[in-house]
Every structure is written in C-alpha cells, then in structure tokens.
Amino acid sequence: MKARVHVSLKNGVLDPQGKAIGHALHGLGFKDVADVRQGKLIELELTGALASKPKAEIEAAVKEMAQKLLANTVIENFSVELVG
C-alpha cells in the first residue's frame, strides 16, 4: 500500500519559485503559460498494521502525518491519494 501526499501553496501565497519557472518557460517560447505554482509530492510506502486497515483509516492516519509534519498548513494545502 502506497500513499501519495500532494503539497501545494495556498491560494494567495506568493510562489517566487513558480514565478521563476514561468519566466523560464516563456523564455523557451511557451508563451501560453499564464501562471506556474510549484508544489511537492511525497510518497509513503506503508507497512505493518496500518497497511492492512480499511482505506478510510489509512487515509485518516496519513492526513495526520501531513498535518503534523509533511505540510505547513499556514501556507500549504495538501491532499492524500492511496495507491494499490
């Protein structure tokens, strides 16, 4: 069982790195890119008792991990996806 945690900046939080990537894409001729936001993807390989629990419980546990460490909810949103 694998969990993917997608972390992205909240709306309204400026993303200087996304902006720089946007500039670079424009420089390469991709003029139709309006805005770029950079986030991150964290993959967790789950094992032990947790991996064999119902999906809802796994999702709750991974959400707790995201809230406590993987994302900073002051500036970031996250979503959890279970795979396999």
Residues of the shown chain interacting with other proteins in the complex, contacts defined by CB under 8 A: 12-14, 16-17, 20, 68-70, 72, 74-75
25 vs 57: CA distance, rounded Å? 41
* CA separation for the pair 23, 34 (Å, rounded): 10
Report in angstroms the alpha-carbon separations of 18 from 3, 35, 40, 64, 73: 25, 8, 12, 27, 19
Compute the least distance from the CB of residue 12 to other proteins, in Å: 8
Which of 13, 51 has the CB closer to other proteins? Answer: 13
Least Å from the CB of residue 69 to other proteins: 6
Give 17 or 79: the residue with its C-beta nearer to other proteins: 17
